């Protein structure tokens, strides 16, 4: 198993265009929010499309779009959970209790945290900097920067030294 990683690009090596593409991933949700699409699933689809459009660009762009996509997954799940819970609550007269209220608070906090960290990451990306979220940062780094075995085989011819 290889533990090699591709080098991380430094800000001076990153053209403005790439920095903007990297920032774009985090701003997808603002765009969909502004378009009046508060359904979590639509933000998610937008993020997936954005990642696929950008995945052939530089690793820097890929890293940031993947991080925004992955970190959105649990938030979307929590939001969907809230919608389902609220609906069943209306429909079956579930008790509006502290368990639900607490979940609601945690979901709101998660969304705020996600929003705050996304803005921070977008600003860093614009400056050509890496920004690692807890867990999702490492995971995206692993996926994007790790040298994969099959990719290594492409470089079988090496210089004489």
Partner 1 sequence: MKKRLWRDFLILLVLFLGAWIFFIYYPVVDSEVVKESFNDKEKEIKEKLVELMDFKQADSDTTQLLRSLGELKHLVSDKDVQYELYYSDSREINAYALPGNMIVLNRGIILECDTPEELIGVIAHELGHLKMKHHTDQLITTLSIELLLAGSGSTTGEVTKILTQNAFSRDMESEADDFAIKKMKELNISPNYLAKLFKKMYIKSDMVPEFLNSHPGMNKRISKFSQYPFEESTLEFTFDWLKVKNSL
Which residues make up the interface to partner 1 (CB under 8 A)? 3, 36-39, 74, 87, 90-91, 96-103, 105-106, 109-110, 134-135, 138-139, 142
Q: How far is the CB of 156 from partner 1 (least distance, A)?
A: 26
Output the CA torsion 121→124→126→128 (10° steps).
Answer: -130
Q: How far is the CB of 95 from partner 1 (least distance, A)?
A: 8
Q: Residue 33 or residue 53: which is nearer to partner 1 going by CB?
A: 33
Q: Residue 105 or residue 123: which is nearer to partner 1 going by CB?
A: 105
Place of tokens 């995945």: 55
Q: How far is the CB of 32 from partner 1 (least distance, A)?
A: 12
Q: How far is the CB of 155 from partner 1 (least distance, A)?
A: 22
**What DSSP character marks residue 97?**
-
Continuous H helices in 55-131? 59-92, 98-126
Tokens encoding 105: 């608070």
Q: Residue 48 or residue 139: which is nearer to partner 1 going by CB?
A: 139
- Are 26 and 63 a contacting pair, CB within 8 Å? no
Beta-carbon-side half-sphere exposure of residue 69 (alpha carbons within 13 Å): 21
């Amino acid at each position: 198993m290889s533990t090699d990683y591709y080098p991380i690009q430094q800000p001076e090596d990153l053209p403005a265009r790439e920095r903007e593409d990297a920032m774009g991933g985090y701003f997808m949700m603002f765009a969909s929010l502004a378009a009046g699409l508060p359904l979590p699933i639509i933000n998610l689809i937008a993020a997936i499309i954005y990642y696929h459009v950008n995945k052939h660009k530089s690793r820097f762009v890929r890293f940031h779009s993947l991080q925004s996509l992955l970190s959105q997954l649990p938030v979307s799940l929590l939001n969907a959970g809230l919608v389902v819970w609220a609906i069943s609550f209306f429909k079956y007269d579930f008790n509006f209790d502290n368990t639900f209220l607490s979940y609601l608070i945690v979901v709101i906090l998660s969304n705020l945290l996600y929003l705050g960290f996304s803005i921070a990451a977008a600003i860093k990306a614009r400056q050509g900097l890496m920004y690692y979220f807890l867990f999702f940062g490492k995971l995206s780094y692993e996926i994007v920067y790790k040298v994969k075995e099959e990719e290594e085989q492409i470089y079988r011819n090496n210089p004489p030294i």
